[in-house]
A and B are shown apart, each in its own frame.
Chain A
Amino acid sequence: MKKTFIVLLLVGFSCLAFGLSAQEIVDKMEKSMQVEQSIMEYEQVVITAGGVKTSYTVEAYSKNANEKQLTRYLAPSKVKGTAFLMLNNGDDIWAYFSSTGRVRLIAKHTRNQKMMVSEFTYEDMSMRDYKDKYTATLLADKKVQRKDCYQVKLIPLASSSYSHIIVFIDKQDFVGYRIDFYQKGSPKAFKTLLQAKVKKVQGIMTPHLIVMKNHQTGAQTAMKITKVEYNKKLPDSMFTTTFLKK
């Protein structure tokens, strides 16, 4: 009996000692997945609310942990060469049209609008600094994709199109396998992001399939990553409007 009591006490102490706060969990998640520079190629499969399916091939470059991003469409031919440049964490967005060769600045208030046909908004694409930009609260643990996950509620500190988001983070590898997005006044998640086929690439946990599903419209966007390379030095000149035209 005495022995059992000591074991229980030790278990209790170890939980206290190793229990992570919500902020720490989010911090670990960010660290586990965030990279300074990346080059990716992916197939973007979009299914609209009407059930129309379209595929695009996209190459994407990012620098300073997504602070600067360049996305260029490689296929279909109708949009080949069209590119978007996001600077200052998505505050400044530029579009380049291959059909006319013009570069246009997209207004700031489009940040919370959908990025083209996808279910991702510009805001989603530039999400980072969770620790500084959100208040984190730890909720009850939950199994997601057969993995034991922490459930963390994040409330944005600045203006956002979301009232809050709930991230499900794997206790082992700290990958955020699911994110539920909520809008003000609604108890149901209106969008869900799923990350799957997570593999280590250059030591970084990388989901190779990312799906964003809009529960209100039934539309969904899947990003199937076909090529990824991290921390290759990307020059600043790549993230300029001049480079957009190249």
Chain B
Amino acid sequence: MARFSATHPWWVIISSLLITVFFGFMIETRLKIEPNWIDLVPRYDKSVQEFTTITSNFGSATPIILAIENDDKQKLKAIALEVAHDLERMTNFFRRVEVSVDKDFFYNHAFMLEKTSQLKQAKDTMNNFDLLPYLRNMNDSFEKTYIGGESDLGDDELQVVRGINSLVDLLGSMNHSFEQDDPGQWGRSQADQGVEDMLYQFSADQKMVLITILPLSPVSDLDVIMEFVPELNKEIDTIKAKYPGTRMRMTGMHIVSHDEMASMEGDTMVLTLIAFIIILLTFVVVFKMWGAPLLAMLSLMLGIIWDLGITALTIGRLNLMTSMTAVILIGLGVDYFVHIISGYTEGKKEGLSTPEACVYSMDKVGTGVFIGGLTTAIAFFILGFSKMQMFKELGIVLGTGIVATMLVSFLLLPAFLSAFLKDKKKERPQWLKIVLTILAVITIIPGILILTQKIAEKISHHRQGDASEVFSRWGKTTTRKPVFILITIAVVSVVFGVTMFFNKMDSNLMNIEDQSLDSIVLQREVVKRYGLSDTALIYTTSNIQQSQAIAEQLEDNKLVRMVNSLASYIPSGKNQQQRLPYLRQIQAGLRAYTPSTRIDPTALSNEIDRLDMNLRELSQMATLGGQKLLEQRLESLLSNGSSYSQSRDALIRKLASENTDSLGRFQQAYGQVMKKTYLGMATPQLITRQDLPASVLDTYINKQGTRYLNYVYSKTDLWENTADSPFILGVREIAPQATGMPVLVQVLLREGGREGRKAIGWSLLAIVILLLIDFKNVKHTLIAIIPLVLGFIWMLGILPLTTRPMDIMMMMIIPLIIGIGIDDGVHILHRYRKEGDNMPRILGTTGNALFLTTFTTMIGFGSLMFAKMEGLRSMGIILFIGIGACYIITVSVLPTLLHLMDKKKNGGH
């Protein structure tokens, strides 16, 4: 093949370019990049099927969360309403935009939705809104709550915070009532606002409000996501411009997927370029020329285009793992070119012509390259038989890539060398110059090449020895101190064999994303500021009774923050019946209440003091009870100079020194509004389906009316410790059908681990068989495998020393090391079988080339460490370590063992 290419270069070059143009066209028209982890999840799993069923019934069951921040709560509400109004028009993308609870429904049925135990308390506290009895009732309630244990603070943390916020707001309104021209009007507006605030999803500090957007398309539909997210961003930017000082950010899986894609697109291009440039520089420095390295890199790029073209024709997409194919193949494929150019330069040194040097090179290294490449390709292709789509695609794309780059190195490189690196300098035709210039331009910036060449010249000028001499000396050492080397490697392997057990698994999917993304930052902030996970588990039931029964059981789980379903709007018949008497009592209490203007300043001051003490005690209880949300909120409220502290002090001062008529009029008006509103909220009437707003029915029931959707929210970040989440375990004990993104991550980890182990086993077996066929020698086969096995241990043992935990991306990429790590050993053994026990020579020639191939491969993968996405960095780190470890073991253990074997065979001589 090489002879034909070297003697008929233009045939080969033109045909190859035609093929490349064809594949380039295929890539452009058919290849999609879908770096979405959801596509990696095996579809055969029941949880995945349930997830798919839910998305087909309800569109997207995973909402987008839009967070708006502003220090002014009332402004925040107005902006939220405007944003929601604008987004509702994007009906081609969104099913529902929810900014608040349906006002009519809430004002008529709010109390029926409260827990019976809370209503029991409310009947004593919600019957008088005159400030003194109201504050006294609230203080009594606080003390009962945390001293009497009538309700676990942790269960209703956000609810407690909201209660405190409304009381603090009331103190502020009371304080300002002294300065109002019309305190009555002020009282009415403050009461209205206070009740209305309950409709919105304010954060604990009241500076953030959330809008929930339900997209029509599922999170797996990247095309639609890439279409609507930029539009959404544009819309939000327009509104944001109108309100300076307002911050708007989005999160949710749709946004994360979009941001992930955008981040990956940038990463792919930049990283490929970085890998390309560094490897080219290395090439130029090592071989002290730029013509052959440039042609090699050009051939490699064509090989990668072929691979991607075939991928476009077969799979049609690049997923999260395969989207980095170009970078991986630059690192892996360049090995073949290094070996061939190494042989070629050797041939040239011996005075051969370019075509003859090409043939010479193939003769020397061709078999090694072929077998090495074949073992790697087979190891990858074995992944193609995996049940998991992710491994399947990874195996096919990379296996094809290895074959393509190897084929190009055998076919195209000799042709390029023969065509462009003529032995006798003669004037090149004009058209050739043009082609060369175009090639140079497409490949790399010519300036970098010139600079590189200059650096190379400088380095080579100053270089004292030759790399091959270093490896040759190392070859001698391996024959002089074999036992020492083996013991050292064994000791290090034992140490890493121990440290590998210190690896920690990080199953948080958000940690593999670009940590600077707004969507990722916001995701964590929502958990902190709301005390609930932004992601929910979802399940469907066939009727509302089932939803009610499951919700009641789930609410007993200490890790469940809330269950959102139709049952949240229609409690079970039994619960409603239990609540009716309390609603009647509340209404009776309210009817008996006549708002007054009477103020007892001293008693009111005392109750304000008591409230303050309760808040301080509550703050200590929250610290001891681990209720972070409550603790932080109270800490901020109770700090010196906070608006609460100022209102409290001012109010006490005014109560002691000023006329309280204004406050009396405020109280009366406030009480009138509260009485009227709460009378409506406490309507003693059973809620039926007919009472529900259409938007609620649309959210929780499918179009056919056959499936009911339910969401369960965790109190803590559901992405943390997803693999062993007690929340998921607890929820699935009650609702085994519960699914959702975190469950899919569990499936991915479980199946990925299982399939990965299988893939490693099968790849290893395939390699053993191939090597047995090639070597026809069991001992040589086993020796070739040693670096792989020990390299694997070293890789896992070194990882904990970097303090980086094992993550999902590392776990998925680890099987690749089998295919990559075997290569070096195969080359050494091939050379050994040709040269015999001449380790200085073997390492002086092959060792040198192996160093370069390993170095370039490590650079290829190492460039991933510069990715913005943490998952890609993880891939880079683990493969960088793994390849380095396999190389060190190969050049240490293999020559030593082979030498000892020969020595034994020759009776110790």
Which A residues fall within an 8 A CB radius of B? 46, 48-52, 54, 56, 73, 76, 78-79, 82, 95, 97-100, 102, 104-107, 109-110, 113, 116-117, 215-218
Contact = CB atoms under 8 A, between A and B. Distances in A.
Given A100-B617, A102-B613, A79 B149 contact: no
A102 B617 contact: yes
A51 B619 contact: no
A16 B624 CA distance: 51
A107 B147 contact: yes
Nearest to A99: B616
A98 B617 CA distance: 8
B726 A217 contact: yes
B720 A51 contact: yes
Contacts of B721: 51, 218
B623 A79 contact: yes
A171 to B, nearest CB: 31
Nearest to A116: B624
B617 A99 contact: yes
B558 A117 contact: no
Contacts, number: 81
B409 to A, nearest CB: 50
Contacts of B149: 106-107, 109-110, 113
B705 interface: no
Contacts of B626: 46, 48, 52, 54, 116-117
Nearest to A44: B624
Interface in B722-736: 724-727, 730
Given A48-B626, A104-B143, A216 B620 contact: no
B716 A97 contact: no
B628 interface: yes
Given A104-B143, A105-B147, A98 B628 contact: no
Given A98-B620, A218-B724, 6 more contacts: A49-B727, A97-B620, A100-B616, A100-B617, A102-B613, A106-B149
Contact of B148 (A54, A76, A100, A107): A107
B607 to A, nearest CB: 15
B628 A52 contact: yes
Interface in B445-465: none
Contacts of B753: none
Nearest to B717: A50
B642 to A, nearest CB: 16
A235 B726 CA distance: 45
A198 to B, nearest CB: 26
A184 B221 CA distance: 46
A73 B558 contact: no
A6 B559 CA distance: 61
A217 B730 CA distance: 8
A226 B617 CA distance: 28
B726 A106 contact: no
Nearest to A82: B620
A100 B589 CA distance: 33
B152 interface: yes
24 contacts: A48-B626, A48-B716, A49-B559, A50-B715, A50-B716, A50-B717, A51-B716, A52-B628, A56-B624, A82-B624, A95-B147, A100-B617, A102-B613, A104-B147, A105-B147, A106-B148, A109-B149, A110-B149, A116-B621, A117-B624, A117-B625, A216-B558, A217-B559, A218-B725
B611 to A, nearest CB: 12
Interface string B697-732: 000000000000000000111001100111100100
Contacts of A73: 624
Contacts of A102: 613, 617
Contact of A100 (B613, B715, B720): B613
B147 A216 contact: no
A110 B144 CA distance: 12
Q: Which of B149, B613, B717 has the most CB of A within 10 A?
A: B149
Contacts of A98: 620
Q: Which of A50, A73, A95, A216 has the most CB of B within 10 A?
A: A50
Contacts of B621: 116
